[in-house]
Amino acid sequence: MILFSCSGNKEKQSESKQESIDVAKAFENKQELKLSQFATEVSYIKLETNPDCLIAMVGNLRLGKRYLVLSNGFQGKIFLFTRTGKFIKTIGSMGKGPGEYISISGLVVDDQEKYIFLTDNRQKRLIRYGLADGSAISVNLNNVLNIYGLVLVDSDVFVYVIPDMEKANPCSIIKFDQSLNITKSYMKIDDPIERIANMFGFIKYYKEQFWLSNPVLNSLDIYDSQFQLQKRITLLNRQNNEEFFDLAFSQNGLFVKLVGNILEDRKSTGEITKIYSVNLSGGILYLEQDQVPVYPLNPISQSNSIVDDLCGLNGFSRPGLCSEKGYFIHHLDINFLKEKIEKYRKDESRELDNIDPVLVSIIDKSGNEDNPIIRVIQSK
């Protein structure tokens, strides 16, 4: 089936540019990368902490001009904060009724910050919530096996799915208007092995191009606005069956986060190999146009991270999310930072002045059980 799929799509793939990333060589190409190479300034949002908005784990995170939206994990509540971190309210509710969700496979906010759009993979559902009035409308996605995620382009909502190949006209991209009416479908799938349900798929939109991961082909596929394939980047010599997991765009290149599936020999159960765990720290690579991929190296900890010379945290190990607006964004755990700063204060060989004094002040005023701090890094 795999050979047939490759030959059947040979003509279509030949029209697009083929590239590859040698994972083994990329991991050998270790270089020190500094945050100042990609960013101009850093700011912090201290999230309000009260019984109505306790956050155990940050899942989805979206930042607009007025609001900050985040979910408590990928199966928890959705919280709405102001741009300065003041809690406003929760959005929607969990459940199986109309306009309710069980899981969150994708979450975006429109540029006017009027609506939140959410995909629920468990219920195969697309939901739109009104930020001001709390309204909710939803539509079930029929003939869909899996939902990877969604992106907004102007007033259009693009949902990346795994179609049911036994149904008529299966397509991987479904376009909706903001009232959740289907307006068009793209990428009709003729071969069942071309797209198969996998939890590590994603869709991004950057500089008028759609970036989709294809777990079956271990590739990152780049499409134009009409979803014609422009480039396919495949992974070679994967050490731990690495797959594309996430992207973060910078001015001249992009950060690629890989996830590795670890295989274990379980002869006692009669199985030769079995995937028993997933390593979400499989690695982060930095790619520039026509350059060899770089494995960022922090010489202090010898870890896969970027030297944080702007904030003095010794490592920027998570590119997190990067919007088309031009920033990276991720969260910082209060307890982790308190422990780190305390070690600096006890170690005379280290200077606390190397850590951003604004961040130190925020941490000193925070309680151990406070909500995380959101760090916003303005990209060059």
DSSP string, 155-187: TEEEEEEEE-TTSSS-EEEEEE-TT--EEEEEE
Q: Which two tokens stand for residue 92?
A: 């929607």
Element (H, E) at 31: strand 30-31
**How big is the CA angle at 150 (ends 144 and 154), to the nearest 5 degrees?**
130
Q: What is the sign of the dihedral through the CA atoms of 66, 333, 205 and 159?
A: negative
Q: Which two tokens stand for residue 193?
A: 């092995």
Those residues whose C-beta lies under 8 Å from the C-beta of residue 47, and which sit 6 or more positions away, are 53, 55, 68, 81, 85, 87, 370, 371, 372, 373, 374
Strands lying side by side in the sheet with 58-63: 58-63, 67-72, 78-82, 87-91
Burial class (CB in 10 A: 0-12, 13-18, 19+), 185: middle
- A 10 A CB-CB count for 335 gives 13
**How big is the CA angle at 181 (ends 176 and 186), to the nearest 5 degrees?**
40
Q: Which residues pair with 126 in a beta bridge?
A: 119, 139
Structural contact between residues 172 and 144, judged by C-beta atoms closer than 8 angstroms: no
Q: For residues 285 and 47, what is the distance between their CA atoms, to the nearest angstrom? A: 30
Q: Provide the pairing of β-strand 30-31 with 295-298.
A: parallel
Element (H, E) at 140: strand 136-140
Collapsing DSSP states into helix, strand and coil, what is residue 345?
Answer: helix
Q: Which domains does the chain have, with CATH numbers?
A: 18-379 (2.120.10.30)
Q: For residues 178 and 13, what is the distance between their CA atoms, to the nearest angstrom? A: 33
- A 10 A CB-CB count for 338 gives 16
Structural contact between residues 369 and 53, judged by C-beta atoms closer than 8 angstroms: no
Q: For residues 256 and 248, what is the distance between their CA atoms, to the nearest angstrom? A: 7
Q: For residues 155 and 279, what is the distance between their CA atoms, to the nearest angstrom? A: 37
Q: The tokens 């961040």 sit on which residue?
A: 359
Q: What is the pLDDT along the chain (380 residues), one digit of tens a residue?
A: 333 334 444 445 456 799 999 988 888 898 888 888 888 889 999 999 999 999 988 888 899 889 999 998 777 899 999 999 999 999 998 899 988 999 998 999 999 999 999 999 999 999 999 998 889 999 999 889 889 999 999 999 999 998 887 887 789 999 999 999 999 999 988 765 566 556 678 999 988 999 999 887 889 999 999 999 999 999 998 877 788 888 888 878 888 888 876 554 444 444 444 444 445 556 788 888 878 898 887 666 666 778 888 887 765 545 566 666 778 888 888 888 888 788 777 776 666 667 788 888 999 999 988 999 999 988 88
